[in-house]
Amino acid sequence: MNIAVFASGRGTNFASIIRAAKKGKIKAEIALLVCDNPRAGAIARAKRAGIKVALIKREDFTSKQDFESKIIANLNENNIQLIVLAGFMRMFSSEFVIKYRNRMINVHPALLPAFKGTQGIKDAFDYGVKSTGITVHFVDELMDHGPIILQQAVKIEETDTVEALERKIHKAEHKLFPQAIQLFVDGKLKVEGRKVKIFNPNPSPK
């Protein structure tokens, strides 16, 4: 199976996916990085790992449709079966989402449906909840809304700062995200409405 990772920034989740693939924890080919930011650290990570980069900048296209058409052409060219959003800072059109429905997953730094949006960690911290977490989910037409694959809680200690909480969240992401990807690769995920059924994730030894 060929996977495309989409990233716009430093690419720390992308790096965790690369490491998991090298260790055999993701049994698939990380075939492509799609990036919209020429200054993104993810590009250097891809080059070091020998992963093909498609730098596709929105400002180079007169319409969102043309921008997405270029992305689709790159996905088709590389025979991509799964899209992994690892800090890609753009919303897709409903047409794009429908085309890749149940084949595009995202990680969000909160326990959805709480604290949606780009400031999920800070919003949870500022609200004063005792715990937050991470969510890996399929992408649908709404922001941070699709069927949930895996979630993991992260406790907020009284001594935590926002920066300390961010480090804990990212550490949890780097473990849970590759697990969810491998569940997809293994064909163990079935979407039933807004829910995801996981088939036999931990089989008992015979």
Residue 8: which of 58, 59, 42, 49 has the closest Cα? 42
Contacts of 95 (CB under 8 A, 6+ apart): 65, 68
Residue 96: which of 57, 133, 63 has the closest Cα? 63
Q: Which tokens in the block code for residue 184? A: 């997809």
List 107's β-bridge partners, or say none: 136
Residue 49 CB coordination number (10 Å)? 16
As a whole number of angstroms, the distance between CA 172 and CA 68 comes to 31
Q: What phi, psi does 171 have (nearest 5°)?
A: -60, -40
Q: Using CA atoms of 45, 171, 8, 81 in order, give the dihedral in degrees to the nearest 10.
A: 80
Given the residues 108, 137, 145, 174, select the one marked as catalytic. Answer: 108
Find out whether 191 and 147 touch, Cβ atoms under 8 Å.
yes
Q: Examine the residue annotation and report whether 137 is marked as an active-site residue of this protein.
A: no
Find out whether 155 and 131 touch, Cβ atoms under 8 Å.
yes
Which residues are tagged catalytic?
Answer: 108
